[in-house]
């Protein structure tokens, strides 16, 4: 179930020859501050944690699918059937991630299992979570380090610094809807030539 999709944008004819052939934007759950998916869930299966994540509680979800209807980014996925993993595909399942049943909504969780594991380690050792200690799977996998993950409240974190440095290029998706997404994107820059 694709919790993260890479959307590709083809530049328009006016930009031909002066820009990359393809723009790409990985889109996952934006964990909006004013998440449109949260107040429409009738059973509190989609709630905001105190840490700023939009949490999906699988046990509580009754499958009304209202949250995906209201999501402007369409990042949520529904289990239309009960998932089956005939052997040996069941070996691919991550033991830290709950297996969802039929009729339950799911989406990107910012690798909450990694966040929780990191926080538990930090609490055991009696310290704060360090920047870089928790990294999401998508950020870890990206070969060009296109994705940064961190604590927005930690102004020394690599993610916040990257944002601050790239401030003129920062944008969020569909800002006019006022969902206040916490995923920010940096615009591509390319040289323009006077004459194409």
Partner 1 sequence: MSEVAVISTFDNDEECAQGILALHDARIDQFRAFFPFPSERITEAIAHARSWGPSPVRYWQLFGGITGFLSAIALTFGTSWEWNLIAGGRPIISVPPYIIIMFELTILIGALSGLTGFFVHNRMPVFEPLPGYRSRFSEDKFGVVVQCDEGAAGNVESVLRNAGAADITREILAPAAEHH
Partner 2 sequence: MAAAVDTNLEPRYIDVDHQVQRAMAPGSLKYWMWVLFCAFLTALGGGYRTDEVYTGLGKTGLTEPTMWAPYITNFVFWVGIAHSGTLISAILYLFRVRWRTAIYRCAETMTVFAVATAGLFPLIHLGRLWFFYFVVPYPNERFLQPDFRSPLVWDFFAIGTYLTISAVFLLTGLIPDCANAREVATGWRKTLYTIFSFGWQGTDRQWRNFQMVYLLLAGFATPLVLSVHSVVSWDFAMTQLPGWHSTIFAPYFVAGAIFSGCALVLTLIIPIRKFWRLDEMVTIWHLDNLAKIVLLTSLIVTYSYVVESFMVWYSQDALELTTFNQRYFGPQGYLFWMMVTCNCLIPLLLFSPRVRTNTVWLFIISIFVNIGMWLERFVIIAGSLATNTMPSQWRFYTPHVTEIVITVASFGWFLMNFSLFAKFMPIVSMTEMKEGISWLRQAARTSYPYRKAA
Residues that bind partner 1 (CB under 8 A): 33-41, 44, 46-48, 50, 180
Q: Which does 171 bind (CB under 5 to 8 A by kind): partner 2, partner 1, none?
A: none
Which residue lies nearer to partner 1 by CB, 56 or 148? 56
CA dihedral sign of residues 164, 168, 169, 175: positive
Binding partner of 63, given partner 2, partner 1, none, CB within 5-8 angstroms per partner class: partner 2
**Binding to partner 2 by residue 11, rule CB under 8 A?**
no
Contact string (CB under 8 A) for partner 2, positions 118-157, x = contact: ----------------------------------------
Nearer to partner 2, 40 or 160 (CB): 40
Closest of 33, 28, 36, 21 to residue 7, by C-alpha: 28
**Sole window of 62-70, 114-122, 131-139, 148-156 interacting with partner 2 (rule: CB under 8 A):** 62-70
Nearer to partner 2, 104 or 111 (CB): 104
Question: How distant, in Å, are the alpha carbons of 67, 87, 112, 117 from that of 96?
Answer: 25, 19, 10, 10
- In DSSP terms, which residues pair with 55 in a beta bridge? 47
Residues 27 and 5: their CA atoms lie apart, in Å, by 5
SS3 105: strand
Per-residue tokens: 4: 């993260």
For residue 26, state whether it binds partner 2 (rule: CB under 8 A). no
Is residue 66 involved in binding partner 2 (CB under 8 A)? Answer: yes
Name 92's Cβ contacts closer than 8 Å, sequence gap at least 6.
85
* Exposure b/e, 52-80, CB count within 10 A at least 16 = b: ebbbbeeeebeeeebbbebbebebbbbbe
Provide the binding-site residues for partner 2, judged by CB under 8 A: 5, 7, 27, 36, 39-44, 60-66, 68-70, 72-74, 76-82, 101-105, 174, 177, 179
């Amino acid at each position: 179930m694709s919790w993260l999709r890479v959307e590709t944008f083809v530049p328009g004819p006016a930009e031909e020859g002066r820009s990359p052939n393809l723009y790409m934007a990985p889109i996952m759950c934006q964990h909006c501050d004013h998440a449109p998916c949260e107040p429409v869930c009738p059973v509190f299966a989609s709630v905001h944690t105190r840490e700023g994540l939009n949490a999906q509680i699988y046990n509580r979800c009754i499958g009304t699918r209202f949250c995906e209807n209201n999501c402007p980014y369409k990042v949520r996925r529904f289990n239309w059937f009960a998932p089956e993993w005939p052997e040996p595909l069941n070996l691919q399942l991550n033991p830290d991630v709950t297996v969802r049943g039929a009729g339950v909504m799911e989406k990107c969780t910012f690798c909450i299992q990694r966040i929780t594991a990191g926080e538990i380690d930090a609490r055991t050792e009696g310290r704060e979570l360090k920047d870089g200690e928790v990294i999401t799977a998508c950020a870890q996998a990206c070969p060009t380090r296109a994705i940064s993950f961190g604590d927005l409240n930690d102004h020394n974190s690599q993610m916040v610094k990257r944002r601050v440095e790239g401030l003129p290029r920062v944008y969020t998706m569909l800002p006019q809807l006022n969902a206040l997404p916490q995923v920010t994107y940096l615009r591509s820059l390319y040289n323009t030539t006077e004459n194409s």
